[in-house]
Structure 1
């Protein structure tokens, strides 16, 4: 018997899930997006087996409905589907980066006998849109599910059996725990990164050269400040309570640092950095909630054509790069050329490639 999967929202996340679901046996994947151009691209790129125009009709045939939409759009669609004719055992899930609002709305669906299991695939890309979708986007990333505590276990298993084709690590947590943890490791760091950039912007009015020196550690720690502002506006508002708690804790921590500096105690200052280093070094290397680049620093000589030579070697071995830049201010940076890759495997292949063909010194951060 064919399983019908309906994906609403065919951007990077929804499109990638749709491609993954196509690998499941006896499964047909339908798709819809509010943007006509996206629907056309999805059809041309075979993101789904069939692009539909009538959302309600497609939903009536679905065994699983997946919202690949931002949280606010998902809340809208959840209101809409309360009045749709759905299959008795249909499973509804989403991909939103905050879960408490979603699960609160899901109570209304549950009252109508509709199964809703919250979801959040914790991976992304430097690109966006359906043209960037790929079936292995979530490989080895965490895919968090936030079912109700007393959800039907069989329904959860059915969803897991479908999502296993994303090759992600599927885990189940409480929605509030999810929002707290993502606030700590993702949402709040975006606020910190943005605040550092604001501080730089303020400083460069008096010291214009400051921005020219903003390389190395500053670029690394503020990379995420380049993320889509409208997305982070929504995430910040949706998870505002958790973020307020994080801001309070951050201010307390900064006061502690200030006290250490006022004490002028070199041992306390060194210990502060030592503890941070140890904790940081023990963090697992894994795919995080948002796109992470894998940078390779290459100490190249300065002569014409050297960059095209390096990228040419990588192209010959079909190693894809996501970004390339030349660093002038290089405090804490060992190589003038920085090439970014989407996966650690690509970076390792690049190192092996260049080690065979050149004598350049290479480093990873």
Structure 2
């Protein structure tokens, strides 16, 4: 039986534990977290089989997964270099930056362990052990950064262990990883936080203030609710990349500001047309299709009982609903409900049964 030590029982760590507990192949999970309350919850909900005080039980582990903020991961790698480890122990992480972590993993060079950098592109603005979900990583890209044959072998072993998560594993270099996630994850978090902070400061003297914030603002800034400590650590460890991307974005903002000041309608139209086309292409190339999923978008009223009515209709038809998500919801205004199905037939059947009561916006 494989013994996995999960160090860090926040959103990602507890989600991995939940997924592993659903695997038909038995896995022993050792939990470790500096917050006793996190581990108490994990024990009460049978997410762990044992609890480790710090790293005391690492000699028992076949696999060690580090699921703490980036700076703590780096510190733990240094500590593990001075611990007794099983020959062939695989150590990995779920940190959002890779170059600094891979560099820190060099401390393990004289140990019998093998380190493979990892990063599942999944998360939530919710934090802590209670926010964990067994399906959090389903169909999410899961980056791995093996650089030697031993690391590539270890990466394959991790893929087999974590197959229950249904993540899509991608091999990538640490540098390319940090550049890509800097643009599509780290920079957007900076911008979301900036928009929220600016709105709060600008509207603090207005009695309506943020109360009038509509779906667009809330959707765009949802990620600003994420763990501040985690994002402080991410930006400090991917600083040069994100700093350069912020500078480029500032140039873009300056160009659009100039177009507004100059009343340059052509430039403004081209700016939004380009964004619209790129965003539409993003949806067209959405990996849901490649994964065999089919989306249905409904225009629904924002009133009690709507979701219950829809899910009841689907359940009565025995349809396999993979996921549902509410998009751009505002008070007293209709919202968009995205329903995801595993087959085209289920999506078509759902549309047939829902169409009499709800407007089908589009299908994908």
Q: Normalised by the shorter chain, which TM-score bucket?
A: 0.7 to 0.9
**What's the TM-score, normalizing by structure 1?**
0.80
1:336 to 318, 333, 338: 333
Matched, 1:183 2:182: yes
**Residues 8, 14 of structure 1: 8 Å contact kept:** yes
Distance 1:158 1:105, change over 3 A: same
Whole-Å Cα distance in 1 between the matches of residues 54 and 128 of structure 2? 20
Whole-Å Cα distance in 2 between the matches of residues 76 and 26 of structure 1? 30
**Unaligned stretches of 5+ residues in structure 2:** 289-294, 316-320
Whole-Å Cα distance in 1 between the matches of residues 335 and 300 of structure 2? 9
* Cα RMSD after superposing both structures: 3.4
Distance 1:194 1:32, change over 3 A: closer
**What's the TM-score, normalizing by structure 2?**
0.80
Displacement of 1:212 in angstroms is: 4.7
**Residues 203, 209 of structure 2: 8 Å contact kept:** yes
Name 1:129's counterpart in structure 2.
128
**Unaligned stretches of 5+ residues in structure 1:** 288-293, 301-305, 329-334
Name 1:63's counterpart in structure 2.
62
Distance 1:295 1:195, change over 3 A: farther
Name 1:173's counterpart in structure 2.
172
Displacement of 1:281 in angstroms is: 1.0
Name 2:37's counterpart in structure 1.
37
**Residues 126, 226 of structure 2: 8 Å contact kept:** no
Name 1:307's counterpart in structure 2.
303
**Residues 5, 62 of structure 1: 8 Å contact kept:** yes
**Residues 298, 336 of structure 1: 8 Å contact kept:** no
Displacement of 1:45 in angstroms is: 1.6
Structural mapping, 1:164-313, within 5 Å: 164-204=163-203, 209=208, 211-261=210-260, 264-283=263-282, 284-285=285-286, 298=299, 300=301, 307-313=303-309
Instruction: Render the CA deviation track for 1:263-320: whole Å, top value 9, x for unaligned.
Output: 5443333222211111111114359xxxxxx9977454xxxxx823324424646789
Matched, 1:27 2:30: no
Name 2:114's counterpart in structure 1.
115
Instruction: Render the CA deviation track for 1:9-63: whole Å, top value 9, x for unaligned.
Output: 2222112212333416353332222322222221222213x12235545311221
The count of residues paired between Structure 1 and Structure 2 equals 343
Whole-Å Cα distance in 2 between the matches of residues 20 and 313 of structure 1? 29
Structural mapping, 1:132-143, within 5 Å: 132-143=131-142
Distance 1:47 1:297, change over 3 A: same
**DSSP 3-state at the match of 1:307:** coil
Whole-Å Cα distance in 2 between the matches of residues 272 and 56 of structure 1? 52
